[in-house]
Amino acid sequence: MIDTTPLVKKLGAFVALSDAELSVLATLLKRRRSFVAGRDLVHQGQSDQAAYILASGWACSYKLLEDGQRQIVDFQIPGDFLGLRSVLLHVSDHSIEPVTDIEVTEIHVADLLEAFAHTPRLATAVLWAASRDEAMVVEHLVDVGRRNAAERMAHFLLELAARLFLIGQGDRTGFACPLTQYHLADALGLSAVHVNRVLRQLREEGMVTFRDGLVTFDDYARLAEFAQFDPSYMDQANPLLR
């Protein structure tokens, strides 16, 4: 089943799943759905019964404040869960917006929890995936709490590149990036105006160029040094559970 490839690859990085386990995973996948860019899939406060796995396109999860400000918590790329936390908790604590047009595969919570009973290793794999997601949110918190605007931007772009590389999109020279400067601002806790200035600075210093939907690393090594980028938190090593 082609849909599952990015997910299986991701879960397989932690738990070597058997054919039987993979087929259980396949039965969880219900219908395929499409959503258009900019129209929320999930609203803050909504009660859900379904989560999704992103098949193609980019999405972002965010929280809105009463005064209209928003904080983007994370971006999702193919293979990532959408709204897994929403269904485990009783109500969604965040909203999800497709950044581009996206395709997703639906999963019902009840099915997922039921599957854990017969396929405990699957539960372990999902717990690992959730931990990895949390590790990325944590690194994001460090970004926003303790790095200045330029370091924050550099670190963020390097993290995105590393995640995209894992699913075969982009390399050390750069990647295609559908985000606007407003997305970057809301993710990094900056104003859009300042995002623009920081991008200019990084470009003029010959480290990275963000233009026309393309991120180009002009000097990857220097950028990584500048951002103090250490990808070990993404846990892209070998399976722990064999």
Cα Rg of the chain (Å, integer):
18
85 lies in the site for a second copy, by CB under 8 A: yes
* Complex with a second copy: residue 136 or 199, whichever CB lies closer: 136
56 lies in the site for a second copy, by CB under 8 A: no
> What's the CA gap between 98 and 15, in Å, rounded?
29
Query: Do residues 83 and 28 lie in contact, with contact meaning Cβ atoms separated by under 8 Å?
Result: no
Minimum gap (Å) between residue 142 Cβ and DNA: 14
Among 182, 206, 228, 230, binds DNA (CB under 7 A): 182
Among 36, 214, 221, 241, binds a second copy (CB under 8 A): 241
The stretch among 72-80, 110-118, 144-152, 159-167 that binds DNA (CB under 7 A) is 144-152
Residue matched to tokens 């990647």: 175
Binding-site partner at residue 191 among a second copy, DNA, none, CB < 5 to 8 Å by type: DNA
> What's the CA gap between 216 and 172, in Å, rounded?
9
131 lies in the site for a second copy, by CB under 8 A: yes
180 lies in the site for DNA, by CB under 7 A: yes
34 lies in the site for DNA, by CB under 7 A: no
27 lies in the site for DNA, by CB under 7 A: no
Q: Which residues bind a second copy (CB under 8 A)?
A: 14, 45, 63, 65-67, 69-71, 73, 84-85, 88-91, 93-94, 113, 116-118, 120-121, 123-124, 126-128, 130-135, 137-142, 144-147, 188-189, 228, 232-233, 235, 237, 240-241
